[in-house]
Chain A
Amino acid sequence: MAKVMVSIPDALLARIDEVARIRGTSRSGLLQAAAERELSRRSPEEMRAAIALAREAMRGAPKVDAVAAIREERDRR
């Protein structure tokens, strides 16, 4: 695995270390995860297209109180 040297403002590094501590990971691990997430991020166009298809898949669905339905299932399980 390559080691790289990057410049990060002190305040940002402090936040990185704090979040890494909270999440139980290392500074390196947190930065790797952040980089992977950033690289996998979808474009706004991809997001809009995917949610439009999802909404199209709901066309004609009976109107229900979905919040109540989810609550009912959680309490019942």
Chain B
Amino acid sequence: MIEVVCDASVVVGWLEPDDTESGALLEAAIRGACRLLVLDLTLYEVGNVLVRKHARSGAEVATVIRGIETVADVARPDGLVLRDAACIADADRLTFYDAAYAAQAVALGAVLATRDSDFLDRGLGLPPATVLELLPA
């Protein structure tokens, strides 16, 4: 089964009715066509947006986080992955946060799904619609 590491830009898309591509990727995972993974970092990044931009309460944030943890496995990058992340961050002029996603995907032999141009422009990730094309019908 194809494993898909989703960065926070895709995860917030699961909550947005307008983001049909991220929603379709989520639906594919629910049907069993792929397995979704997020980083522990993702929960903080999404929580941050919910609190600071969407003005969500603690209970609402907890509900969203629980939803994410139910549909995706949460990976905590180990030392080797973080070492690789540092190398990617340096080589591709990315933040360490960005590079952690890319390194985790490489370590798992997974695809990185993202809506963020910093990944897409460097060829480090694929938009959800492209990931969907890789999945079995």
Contacts and interface: CB of A to CB of B under 8 A. Distances in A.
Interface of A: 19, 22-24, 37, 42, 44, 46-48, 50-51, 53-58, 61-62, 64, 66-67, 69-71, 73-75, 77
Interface in B66-114: 66-68, 70-71, 73, 80, 95, 97-98, 107-109
Contacts of B70: 42, 46-47, 50-51
7 contacts: A37-B73, A42-B70, A57-B61, A70-B116, A71-B9, A71-B118, A77-B97
A62 B54 contact: yes
Interface residues of B, number: 44
B56 A66 contact: no
B54 A58 contact: yes
B66 A50 contact: yes
Contacts, number: 97
Interface string B27-68: 001111001000000000100111011111001110110111
Given A61-B54, A64-B54, A67-B115, A55 B15 contact: yes
Given A51-B70, A54-B66, A77-B97, 16 more contacts: A23-B107, A44-B32, A51-B71, A53-B63, A54-B14, A55-B15, A55-B17, A55-B67, A57-B59, A58-B54, A66-B12, A66-B49, A67-B116, A70-B49, A73-B48, A74-B95
